[in-house]
Structure 1
Amino acid sequence: MHIRSVAAASGILLGASVLLLPAASAQAADHPHRPVTVAHRGASAYAPENTLAAVDAAADRDIDWVENDVQRTKDGKLVIIHDTTLNRTTNVEEVFPDRTSWKVSEFTLKEIKRLDAGSWFSPEFAGERVPTLAQYMNRVSRNHQKLLMELKAPELYPGIERQTLNELRRQGWLDRQHVKHRLIIQSFSADSVKTTHELRPDVKTGFLGTPAVADLPKYAKFTDQINPSHTTVSSDYVAAVHALRGAHGRPLEVYTWTVNDAAKAVKVADMGVDGIITNYPDVIRDAVGHKAKPAAGRNAVPTASAAA
């Protein structure tokens, strides 16, 4: 997904969202459907995206589901970062001024560990690092959260589906409880989703995009979700997706992205979407009628919001 959380704009957007919230919540209260709220790259309006701080920011707001992006380093290690280059969300150009490329795939894990992945967002987060997949999974587990994982640009990383599944297995995330209730793997690549399904048919999968209605039956053979941008979704499209049964014999679901204000959240909820992916998960959760649940026992000190 290609929406950037910019700290300077976050406060403005959040203010507008909060102004819309009371009316939107009143509408949502009359709607029987309550979509799942997913924290996009963690709670990325409040902490630097795809960092452990963003995972914690979601937990501090009692958000169960977080979304992330998995890529691979030059030496074959899995890391959590959205862009296929390092320069937007780290200080790579300062640390490695003589390099001519900033591609994730051209840096070793040791090199990436030297980078500051927080200062670009706010000085408060200086020193945040690009986490490995193992570090990320440890934090999600500690927070008792659930994971919507995106395999980012898998065409750049042959075999990343199997490697990611192996790491999830090592982290204890491929047992029946996790697979059934706490894990979804998605991608913009239909081939990658299909490969994931073939390797682990029990794992829930999602395809990122808006396939033509006529093509949906082909996707239903290997995926459980069709996850379009909110700008492309409609009630008729959601109904067409729901009319089909996915890879596990249940109606296909729709998780839409990236919805950052309450009015839009209510609009897509009224269309019948099953999930909403957002940088502002607390705002969207409240807009569509969910009540915050007690914190899941995380002992870390709550992360202050850079946008507050």
Structure 2
Amino acid sequence: QVTAPYLHIGAIAIMVLLAWPVAFHAIRADKKVTQVIIVGPYLAILLILFLIPLGMYSPCIREMGTLGPKPALIGHRGAPMLAPENTEMSFLKTIEHGGDGLETDVAISYDGVPFLMHDDTLRRTTNIAEVYPNDAGKAASFFSWDALQKLNAGKWFLKNKPFVGMGSLSKADQKQAMNQSIYTLSSFLRLADSHNKLVIFDLYRPPEKHPYRNLWLRKVLDVILKESKIKRHLVLWLHNSVRSFVQSVAPGFQHTMGRKAPIEDLLKHNIVKLNLVYTDMSSEDIRKYAAANITTNFYVVNEPWLYSLAWCSGAHSVTTNAVHLLKDLSQPLFLMTPQQYSIMWILTDLTSAFLISLIFVL
């Protein structure tokens, strides 16, 4: 949607280039029927392309003064292009670059300590294979917190470089990354609270035979309410099970749903935000939910053009790996008024028609 006007220009340019072989073969054809067969489809496609803008929609083609505020930026596992994901350094980098919120993943250790880890195992983001080689494939939740503290959570980042085009880190950042360890939920929440940042997290229930399998939500709530004492309005509560219980023991959270639902159902359950994959982005839905005071967050939005689409569509926030890149965008890419687009459309059609006519004449 956001690039549609420019794709249209590209398609017209291709048709201008194709005019040379079409004209060449049409002129060399001996029969009129053959000439019609060659030129007819070409002209039909060209006419369709000339008229496509009549039915084209792009949220970034809008009148001056109608663009909404820039979507807030929530760091996906922190700033994973600048630091090892889900570590203190990663979240500090998000804060340093002006992120509005922090996203993470929460697991529970074997002795009941909520800690940050996205994967089921520790192999990808720690040196578990060096420290506990016989247990490298064991679920992260089956390690005690004491055992987890012995692992390094940063060396893998410098070795594997998980993102293309990451660039090189400064020596100071390399040294800091090398010394990262697994982060607790309590420390994460205290950090967010001290900088007044929103938090959103996926909660992972411990596997079967885990001593806290049926107590995990209580442990998480204890950390939020009693240990960290984070300001409740900063918590975007995403987990859907026992939501009514959470609302009763911890009023003040911003309750967030991970899927689309009828507005009546969302309001009934006091949902104030939707957390949706970016492929579910729809300007119409965003407006509909906003009218009911339900905001939308989309994940994972890394590219400036996709962030521009979210901005033009009216999204309230996005979860991103690239806070450091998107924060510098002063306005959406490809933003233009309908008048500007009409001028561009007419000039493109007239110029291409002139060039194609010239090619056929010559």
1:115 to 1:192, Cα distance in 2 relative to 1, 3 A: farther
Partner in structure 1 of residue 41 of structure 2: none
Partner in structure 2 of residue 203 of structure 1: 253
Partner in structure 2 of residue 136 of structure 1: 188
Verify: 1:163 aligned to 2:219, yes or no.
yes
Verify: 1:257 aligned to 2:299, yes or no.
yes
Partner in structure 1 of residue 273 of structure 2: 225
Any unmatched runs of 5+ in structure 2? 1-59, 160-173, 208-212, 333-362
Deviations for 1:250-289, whole angstroms, at most 9, x for unmatched residues?
x111111010011100101111111111011132233265
User: d(CA) in 2 for partners of 1:91 and 1:259?
Assistant: 29
Partner in structure 1 of residue 316 of structure 2: 274
Which has the greater radius of gyration? 2
Amino acid of the structure 1 residue aligned with 2:149: K
Higher helix share: 2
Partner in structure 1 of residue 179 of structure 2: 127
Partner in structure 1 of residue 7 of structure 2: none
User: d(CA) in 2 for partners of 1:93 and 1:60?
Assistant: 32
Verify: 1:102 aligned to 2:154, yes or no.
no
Verify: 1:49 aligned to 2:96, yes or no.
no
- 108, 121, 146: which is aligned to 2:197? 146
1:112 to 1:36, Cα distance in 2 relative to 1, 3 A: same
User: What secondary structure does 2:98 align onto?
Assistant: coil
Partner in structure 2 of residue 115 of structure 1: 151
Asked if the contact 1:28/1:288 (under 8 Å) is kept, the reply is no
- Aligned-pair CA distance for 1:234: 1.3
Deviations for 1:59-108, whole angstroms, at most 9, x for unmatched residues?
22122321122210111111011122211111112211112633121111
1:118 to 1:172, Cα distance in 2 relative to 1, 3 A: closer
- 191, 212, 220: which is aligned to 2:241? 191
Aligned residue pairs total 249
1:65 to 1:254, Cα distance in 2 relative to 1, 3 A: same
Asked if the contact 1:59/1:145 (under 8 Å) is kept, the reply is no
User: d(CA) in 1 for partners of 2:313 and 2:75?
Assistant: 20
User: d(CA) in 2 for partners of 1:132 and 1:241?
Assistant: 34
Partner in structure 2 of residue 293 of structure 1: none
Partner in structure 1 of residue 122 of structure 2: 86
Amino acid of the structure 1 residue aligned with 2:192: V
Partner in structure 2 of residue 301 of structure 1: none
TM-score, normalisation: structure 2? 0.62
Amino acid of the structure 2 residue aligned with 1:284: L
- Aligned-pair CA distance for 1:228: 0.5
User: d(CA) in 2 for partners of 1:173 and 1:58?
Assistant: 21
Amino acid of the structure 2 residue aligned with 1:61: H
- Aligned-pair CA distance for 1:170: 2.7
User: What secondary structure does 1:217 align onto?
Assistant: helix
1:193 to 1:92, Cα distance in 2 relative to 1, 3 A: farther
1:256 to 1:86, Cα distance in 2 relative to 1, 3 A: same
Amino acid of the structure 1 residue aligned with 2:137: S
Superposed, 1:60-79 pairs within 5 Å as 60-79=96-115
Deviations for 1:197-219, whole angstroms, at most 9, x for unmatched residues?
243232112122x33x44x5324
Identity of aligned residues (%): 21
Partner in structure 1 of residue 355 of structure 2: none
**Larger RCO, structures 1/2 (Cα 8 Å, 6+ apart):** 1
Amino acid of the structure 2 residue aligned with 1:218: D
1:84 to 1:223, Cα distance in 2 relative to 1, 3 A: farther
Amino acid of the structure 1 residue aligned with 2:204: A
Return 196-205 or 89-98, whichever deviates more: 196-205
Any unmatched runs of 5+ in structure 1? 1-23, 245-250, 291-308
- Aligned-pair CA distance for 1:165: 2.2
RMSD in angstroms over aligned alpha carbons? 2.7
1:119 to 1:100, Cα distance in 2 relative to 1, 3 A: closer
- Aligned-pair CA distance for 1:243: 4.0
Asked if the contact 1:154/1:160 (under 8 Å) is kept, the reply is yes
Asked if the contact 1:91/1:117 (under 8 Å) is kept, the reply is yes
- 286, 289, 302: which is aligned to 1:238? 286
